[in-house]
């Protein structure tokens, strides 16, 4: 499982990442809802990232391959960044009602941006260094 210190270091960065994603993809946001989202969403998504990464951590052979495999980390980071860039460059029309006020706006593509955020969150909570080799 991911070390608690790694999660504590990742939390502030992921909070800013999810804030930027929420602000960029939401047609109408309110300040209290955004604060509530920022308290719950990063913790929930980090927990989901840890759960999804459990097979990587618990399988000994897979864990040995995963930990410290920097080329894979770079590929995953590039995929997450690519999803976010594609999401920010793809417009999405949203129509609805917020607080009784109708809106018809064009925003960033929510699915791509949030998928990129989740990929980067998965990497932040599951990446690690290879443990030092112990001679027997």
Any idea where the domains of the chain sit in the sequence? 4-126
Please give the pLDDT value at position 28: 63
Please tell me the distance from the alpha carbon of residue 136 to that of residue 10, in angstroms, as a whole number: 34
Query: What pLDDT is attached to residue 89?
Result: 93
Return the pLDDT at 7: 79
Give the contacts of 92 (CB within 8 A, at least 6 positions apart).
Answer: 106, 107, 108, 109, 110
Q: Provide the pLDDT for residue 47.
A: 86
pLDDT of residue 30: 61
Residues of the chain with pLDDT under 50: none
DSSP bridge partners of 44: none
**For the chain, what's the residue count?**
136
The pTM for the full model equals 0.79
Q: Are 95 and 101 in contact (CB under 8 A)?
A: no
């Amino acid at each position: 499982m991911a070390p608690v210190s790694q999660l504590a270091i990742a939390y502030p960065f992921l909070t800013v990442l999810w804030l930027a994603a929420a602000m960029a993809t939401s047609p109408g946001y309110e300040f209290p809802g955004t604060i509530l989202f920022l308290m719950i969403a990063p913790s929930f998504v980090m927990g989901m990232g840890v759960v999804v990464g459990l097979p990587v951590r618990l399988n000994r052979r897979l864990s040995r391959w995963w930990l410290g495999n920097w080329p894979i980390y770079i590929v995953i980071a590039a995929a997450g960044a690519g999803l976010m860039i594609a999401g920010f460059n793809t417009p999405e029309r949203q129509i609805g009602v917020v607080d009784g006020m109708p809106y018809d706006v064009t925003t960033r593509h929510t699915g791509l941006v949030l998928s990129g955020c989740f990929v980067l969150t998965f990497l932040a909570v599951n990446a690690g260094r290879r443990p030092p080799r112990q001679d027997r």
